Amino acid sequence: MNVEVRLFATLREYLPAGSGRTSAQIEMQEGTRICDLLDRLGIPAAIAHLVLVDGRYEADRTRELQDGCAVSIWPPIGGG
């Protein structure tokens, strides 16, 4: 299955080579969980502070991803 990964702020350095400014399409096995995706990209779980799946906050890192979904990940950020 294909997942769109979007990485922001300092996490962009974990994007695979050849990605866009903030996003990449990644092919994963069926049943891949959020934590598996983090492992695949080499992102330490502690700095993956905010994970949105199709725009909705996801606290459970063992949740399985679906084909065609978009996973967006941020380190701790602030502003306003």
Partner 1 sequence: MISAYAGKLLRVDLTSRQVRSESIDPDAARRFIGGRGLATKMLSEAVHPQVDPLSPANTLILATGPLTGTSAMCGGRFMAVTKGPLTGTIASSNCGGTFGPELKYAGYDMVVLEGAASEPLLMVIEDGKVELHPAGELWGLNVHETEDRLHGELGRDFQLVSIGPAGEKLVRFAAIINDKGRAAGRSGVGAVMGSKKLKAIAVRGTGGLSVADPPGFRAACLDSLAKLEAGEITGQGLQSFGTAILVNIINESGVFPTRNFRQGQFESAEKISGETIAEEILVRPRACVACPIACGRVTEVRGGPYRSRGDGPEYETVWALGADTGVEDLGAVTKANYVCNELGMDTITAGATVACAMELFEEGVLSEKDVGRKLKFGDAEAVVDMMTKIGNREGFGDVLAEGSARVAERYGRPELFMGVKKQEMPAYDPRGVFGMGVQYATSNRGGCHVRGYMIAPEILGVPQKLDAHTPQGKAETNIAFQNLTAALDSIGVCLFVTFSIGAPELAAMLKTATGFDYDADEFMQVGERIWNLEKLFNMKAGLTRKDDTLPRRLLSEPMPAGPAKGLTVPLDEMLTQYYRLRGWDEQGAPTQEKLAALGL
What residues line the site for partner 1 (CB under 8 A)?
Answer: 6, 8-10, 12, 21-22, 47, 49-50, 52, 54-57, 59, 72, 74-80
DSSP structure class, residue 38: H
Question: Kind and range of the H or E element at 70?
Answer: strand 70-74
Q: Tokens 């890192």 identify what position?
A: 61
Q: 31 or 79, CB closer to partner 1?
A: 79
Q: 49 or 63, CB closer to partner 1?
A: 49
Interatomic CA distance for residues 63 and 15, integer angstroms = 21
Nearest approach in angstroms of CB 69 to partner 1 is: 13
